[in-house]
Each structure stands twice: as C-alpha cells, then as structure tokens.
C-alpha cells in the first residue's frame, strides 16, 4: 500500500463521515458500499477486502525448537521478541488511530512490531462497544472478517475501512491466505503470502490478558517458513 494511497484513505474517511448520516437515513447498503468503494477502492484493486479467515491453525507440532538458537533477543519500550539475524526491526509507537507508512518498509527484509494494551482499540474507537465489541480480540475478529461486498450498515463500513488501513503490504493479495491460529500462549489471525521470491506474514496476536501484538514480516529471499514464523511470534511478550 503506497503512502499516497494511505493519505487518500485518511482524507476520504473524513468525507465518508460527513456523508454517512445522509446515506443511513435516505439510502441503503448499496449506496453505502459505493461510498466506501469511492474512498478506498474495490475488491478488484484490494482483493483482501472481500476475503475472510478460513483455515484455523492449531498449535503447530513441527516447530523447529533448535531454530530458537538462531534467534537474537530484541527489546523495545513496550515488548521484547526473539528475531532472526539479517532483518531490520522496528517497533511502532502509535500516536494516531491508524498505521503510519514508512518508506524503508518497502526495502529489504524487515520485521515491524506494534503493541496495544488490553482494550486499547475500544478506547481508540469507543463507538464499537455499542455494537457488542468487548475487547481487542473481538475488534480484530470483526476487522479481519470485514467484507466490502457484505456491507449492510455503518459498523460494517467502519471495519472494512479499518481493514484497508491496518493491512500492510502482502504482495499479490490474490494469493494471500487468511487464517486463524491458536497456540498454547496466543490466539489470533495470520495473513500470509508464500511468494516465489519473497514472502509476507501479517501476524495479529492476542494473549490471555488481551494484549495485542502485530508482527509484520517481509522476508526477501524466502528464508523463513510458517513453522519458523510461529517460533518467532511465540517469543513475544510485553516489557512493562
């Protein structure tokens, strides 16, 4: 997702907000969907907007325990994690309710980290509590399952828009796999693309206390696989 497109998203969200009351009162879901498409694009341009998690991955049994010996501890203000060598690593200290774009994320092998405290998404977007969203996990479940073609109301539209903003570069989205996962420590949602030359992993992770972690990995040269990614994310924990 380019920086130009991301700026367009944010400005058009404002336009959508000003128009939404009129749409809800005088029009129906079809018009609402058209407003969202105008603001962020359609499923032809952004296929993941019409995709949802399918397969559920339960605690992988073939994780290479020896691989942990190749990982290096990385500590940040809000979290720590073991990461492979050769990756540029950063933790985002979010100051706005959307993910900022960094030019350097477009180059090389990178690992991008984000942490949100329990209930933080509800504090950022308090209106979703009125729709029955109780915690970070339910927020992410609604976000990852959001589908542009199934928008029926303003809440559906909100989660589709946020899905477009929260989704990082995943290469060719037409071949992206969206899954749920469950391990001994975590549950969450994993979007991945095992490309021919490069692979992409967008891991949205929640623990029993509702801490949220995002681990985005852009793997130039395909040095990782799903088992190694699960090994990496299994080491994440808050530092405060």
pLDDT in tens, 46-103: 999 999 998 888 876 555 667 778 899 999 888 999 999 999 998 876 544 444 445 5
44-58, 103-117, 123-137, 155-169 — which is least confidently predicted?
103-117
Q: Could you tell me which residue, 176 or 16, shows the higher pLDDT? A: 176
Query: Nearest-CA neighbor of 89 among 103, 100, 99, 75?
Result: 75
Which CB contacts under 8 angstroms, 24+ apart, belong to 218-224?
Answer: 218/105, 218/108, 218/109, 218/110, 218/111, 218/169, 219/109, 220/108, 220/109, 221/109, 221/197, 222/194, 222/195, 222/197, 222/198, 223/84, 223/86, 223/109, 224/84, 224/199
- Indicate the pLDDT class of residue 3, thresholds 50, 70 and 90: low
In the chain the first and final C-alpha atoms are separated, in Å, by 32
CA–CA separation, 203 and 220 (whole Å): 17
**Segment 113-139 mean pLDDT:** 92
At 95-104, the pLDDT tens digits run 444 444 455 4
Mean pLDDT of the chain: 84
Phi then psi dihedrals of residue 218, to 5 deg: -110, 110
List, in order, residues 6 or more apart from 177 with CB less than 8 Å away: 54, 55, 191, 192, 193, 194
Q: Could you tell me which residue, 161 or 32, shows the higher pLDDT? A: 161
Q: How far is CA 38 from the centre of its chain?
A: 22
CA–CA separation, 209 and 207 (whole Å): 5
In the prediction, which pLDDT does 63 show?
57
Domain range for 201: 3-238
Structural domain tally of the chain? Answer: 1
Which helix (H) or strand (E) element contains residue 179?
A: strand 177-182
Phi-psi region of 221 (alpha: psi -120 to 50; beta: other; left: phi over 0): left
List, in order, residues 6 or more apart from 64 with CB less than 8 Å away: 227, 228, 231
Which CB contacts under 8 angstroms, 24+ apart, belong to 57-63?
Answer: 57/179, 57/180, 57/181, 57/182, 57/190, 57/226, 58/181, 58/182, 59/182, 59/183, 59/184, 60/183, 60/226, 60/227, 60/230, 62/227, 63/227, 63/230, 63/231, 63/234
């Amino acid at each position: 997702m380019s920086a130009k497109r991301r700026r367009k998203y944010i400005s058009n969200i404002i336009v959508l907000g000003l128009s939404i009351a009129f749409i809800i009162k005088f029009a129906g879901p079809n018009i609402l969907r058209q407003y969202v498409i105008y603001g962020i694009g359609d499923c032809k341009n952004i296929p993941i907007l019409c995709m949802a998690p399918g397969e559920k991955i339960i605690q992988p049994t073939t994780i290479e325990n020896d691989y942990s010996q190749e990982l290096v501890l990385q500590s940040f203000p809000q979290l720590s994690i073991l990461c492979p060598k050769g990756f540029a690593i950063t933790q985002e200290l979010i100051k706005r309710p959307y993910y900022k774009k960094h030019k350097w994320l477009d180059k090389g092998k990178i690992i991008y980290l984000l942490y949100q405290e329990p209930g933080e998404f509800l504090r950022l977007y308090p209106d979703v509590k009125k729709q029955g969203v109780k915690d970070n996990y339910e927020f992410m479940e609604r976000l990852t399952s959001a589908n542009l073609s199934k928008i029926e109301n303003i809440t559906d539209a909100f989660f589709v828009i946020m899905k477009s903003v929260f989704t990082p570069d995943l290469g060719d989205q037409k071949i992206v796999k969206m899954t749920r996962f469950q391990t001994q420590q975590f549950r969450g949602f994993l979007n991945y693309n095992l490309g021919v030359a490069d692979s992409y992993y967008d891991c949205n992770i929640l623990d029993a206390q509702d801490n949220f972690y995002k681990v985005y990995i852009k793997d130039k040269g395909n040095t990782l696989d799903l088992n190694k990614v699960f090994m990496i994310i299994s080491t994440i924990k808050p530092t405060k």
